[in-house]
Chains A and B, each alone.
Chain A
Amino acid sequence: MGRTGRGHRAGGSESADVAEPGRLPVGGRGATGAATAEPPSGGEPGPEVRHSGRLRVLRAVTGGVVALCLTASLVHVVMVFLYVAPSNQISQRYSRQIDAWIYPLFEQNWRVFAPDPESATRQISVRTENTSVDGAHQVSDWFDLTAIDDADVKHNIFPSHTAQNMLRRAYIGYQESHGNDDRSHSARALMFQQYLRNIAVERLAAHRHGTFQAIQLRVVTRPIAPPVRPRAPHSAANASVDTRYLPWWKVTPNGN
């Protein structure tokens, strides 16, 4: 094709652009070439000198902005690299500056199924408690919330975020902010508790009838069996199923 470099040749190749008035020959005075300080022949010194003064300023400003763009791009690229790379001396030393640049807009996390994918399935269920008028407490059966999501995903070429991400990330957020303790020690932890509760209440309202005043969640974590290895010694199925009961949460009459 005879082309080198990346892109069109300069000068007239930008036919998609607005026509370039700067490239049209303008008399013989080289109005576009009046970049030099000497006044062109045949023109009045007055307006031309004013022009060249303005031109100098324009050139300086343009050059400055170009340099700024270039610098900003390089800084951004370096910041993203330091943010995304595993923690090292440089990123630790400048973590405050890096965070100031990156957050919130350029926040990113590319640990997709990494370092290791989840090797356990989590099943989240909920049950409700209803206190009737005469004071009798009635506790319902466990209602599987994860099964709703799994059913939504099954045979679906474009599953919704409400199925794949909603409950999963809500519980992960709860876990990370609470640890093993179910008392909310930070504002974020309290937010996740409310979020999880709201999700459960909404699902219950959609799939079950009846009123209730409190709910309790149960999370059953089952490890996925490792692939069977033909020559490895047969390892005992260490299927340690973990069950975690979250505390009872009150639900206000309007469902929140």
Chain B
Amino acid sequence: MATDQAPPAAPPLHRAAVRPDRLGAFFATLTERPASLYAAATLRIGYGLLYLAFLLREFPHREEIWGPASPWTPALAIELFDQTGWASFLTWSSSRTYFEVCYALALVTAVLFVIGWRTRATSVLFATVVVAFHARAIFMTDGGDNLILLMAVYLCFTACGRRWSLDARRARLGASARTAGTSSARPEALGFWHQLRSSQRYLSTTLHNCGMFVIAVQVCFLYGAAGLFKVQGGFWRDGTALHYVLNLDLFRPWPALSLLLDGHQMLVAVASYLTVLLQVAFPFVLFGRFKYIVLTMLLGMHAGIAVLLGLPLFSGAMIIADAVFLPDRFYEFLGQVWRRTFHRSVATRVGALSSADASFVPPQPGSLG
């Protein structure tokens, strides 16, 4: 191998060509192919927008929930932190100005997260903000806040800024500038530096893949647990559970609608059983075509919860979480459908298409990508 002219696609470090066994192939995939980059970007944009909407919605109530004058006083919060190990930068000062500054910081962070500016750092900042606000008012949270918190933490490990972001745009522009210029570094100095960059890439790909794996498993466990706990309940087994849910005033923004639905016992029973079935069966349908059908039905269920029970935050968090199961193939397919529909704009874009553009438009099967 020392006498070879290095081929353009020279295999770096340890490679599957040397270890063609399945373990080697697994590690090659783990460290070289980041999975579902579009799904990660969807999660980033989705949770960023959702949290931004939440902060804006709670703007008139922010003092009551997180402020220094909240019924859950900073003193109580700090006492709880000592007991549980939580921490929050919101308790560092009791001044109102400090709180308003923190709130503004939270809003700015959410916006930066959505647009994907310096995503690696912004995702950590976003997670810190979410943790701080969650911990400060932990007894006012529900399932939706819980999920947003977990996702914000997990997204720090993923490469969620590689698509549909300012980072992607910057990388694209940087790549086209580089191919236009010359690479003038000395060859032997390049050796170690190359390897360092390769290592960094392997690590970030590994972290991303592990992060997406953990997110997917977390969502499976969520559905599975929710479903299996319901199976233990007598009302769910009877098919009457939704009757009780529809009669809780705190979750009844449209009493007329809830009562209307409650009047149809057959509908209530079918919906109750379907809820449990979908949630329990979900982890098992992920490896097949059924996945899309079940995801669509779950979308309907979450939309129903959002409207009927007045829980848009929770439903939104669940709908976005379901996006982790849509592979890049799906988004590329959507991209192709979009392009076919708008044929004329495609004709001009294909002419200008270069490797630099391939990140913005999903790669065509025949091109470099």
Which A residues are within 8 Å of any B CB, using their own CB?
A: 1-3, 5-36, 38-41, 43, 47-48, 51, 54-55, 58-59, 61-63, 65-66, 69-70, 72-73, 76-77, 80-81, 84-86, 103-119, 121, 146, 149-150, 153-166, 168-170, 173, 187-188, 191, 194-195, 198-199, 201-202, 224, 226-227, 256
Contact = CB atoms under 8 A, between A and B. Distances in A.
Contacts of B58: 160-162
29 contacts: A1-B329, A1-B333, A6-B36, A7-B327, A8-B328, A8-B369, A12-B355, A19-B175, A29-B6, A30-B2, A31-B190, A35-B13, A47-B188, A55-B195, A59-B13, A65-B206, A69-B203, A70-B30, A70-B206, A80-B217, A80-B218, A84-B225, A105-B149, A113-B230, A116-B244, A118-B248, A157-B307, A195-B139, A198-B71
Contacts of B191: 31-32, 34, 51, 55
A1 B335 CA distance: 13
Contacts of B83: 187-188
A221 to B, nearest CB: 13
B203 A153 contact: no
Nearest to A12: B368
A146 B188 CA distance: 74
A43 B6 CA distance: 15
B64 A110 contact: no
A54 B192 contact: yes
A183 B80 CA distance: 20
Interface string B232-263: 11111000110111011111111100000010
A202 B64 contact: yes
A35 to B, nearest CB: 6
B140 A15 contact: no
B179 to A, nearest CB: 7
Contact of B140 (A16, A65, A105, A161): A161
A226 B246 CA distance: 12
A66 B30 contact: yes
A172 to B, nearest CB: 9
Contacts of B241: 113, 116-117
A48 B179 CA distance: 28
4 closest A-B pairs by beta carbon, nearest first, are A16-B359, A115-B233, A198-B71, A30-B6
Given A17-B162, A21-B190, A66-B206, A109 B146 contact: yes
A166 B137 CA distance: 10
A83 to B, nearest CB: 9
- Residue from B64, B141, B207, B229 having most chain A Cβ neighbours under 10 A: B229
Nearest to A255: B69
A109 B144 CA distance: 11
B171 A16 contact: yes
A22 B29 contact: no
Interface string B176-220: 001100010001101111111111011100110010011001100
Chain B interface mostly = helix
B171 A166 contact: no
B168 to A, nearest CB: 5
A191 B195 CA distance: 56
A36 B327 contact: no
Given A103-B85, A164-B250, A159 B229 contact: no
Interface string B114-132: 0000000000000000010
A127 to B, nearest CB: 18
Contacts of B332: 1
B351 interface: no
Nearest to A192: B139
A59 B329 contact: no
Contact of B163 (A9, A16, A119): A16
B226 A110 contact: yes
Contacts of A154: 252-253, 255
A31 B202 contact: no
A20 B171 CA distance: 11
Contacts of B196: 58
B11 to A, nearest CB: 7
A194 to B, nearest CB: 6
B94 interface: no
A16 B1 contact: no
Contacts of B333: 1
B363 A38 contact: no
B210 A69 contact: yes
B245 A15 contact: no
- Residue from A7, A12, A48, A118 having most chain B Cβ neighbours under 10 A: A7
B291 interface: no
